[in-house]
Amino acid sequence: MATITLQDNEIHTNGELPEVGSKAPDFHLVDGTLADRRLSDYAGKKKLLSIVPSLDTGVCAASSIMFNKSATENDDTVILVISADLPFAQERFCKAEGVDKVVPLSMMRSRNFAKDYGVLIEDGPLAGITARAIVVIDADDKVVYTELVPEIAQEPDYNKALAALKAC
């Protein structure tokens, strides 16, 4: 269990992020066409998972926009923005904000992703959705970088996350 804060109030996740050097847990998420997506769908690609509570918040929106601006056109790299939002809401956000280089994925069918990645918030007003976190996974599905943002209202360290993505 990890401890983070929400506006300086302590809340807890169900576990810890995957360890650097470990194999990334598989996942079952949903894309904008309501198709199931798994880690294997991105085989051979470097992956940055930007895990956010909801795109309906300012910080989640800002981080998604920032990663979209930083996304490369490389076919060997993908940035996945993962939230509890329905795919329809994710699509509306992306269209409204011009976010077109990241892939939004929803936990609408299962919270197992959040459980397996140790980011499911277990208490407080956001119980049942995710903490804010970054996981960078190399082309062989090995975890190379993680960040659990200690205060949910703060943005992640973009520079470190993008440097880890570039280096793997």
Q: Which residues have a catalytic role annotated?
A: 60
**With contact defined as beta carbons under 8 Å apart, do 79 and 103 qualify?**
yes
- Reduce the DSSP state of residue 81 to 3 states and report it: strand
CB distance 68 to 99 below 8 Å: yes
Please compute Rg for the chain using Cα positions.
Answer: 14
CA angle at residue 79 from 101 to 103, to 5 degrees?
Answer: 55
Q: Is 37 helix (H, G, I), strand (E, B) or coil?
A: strand
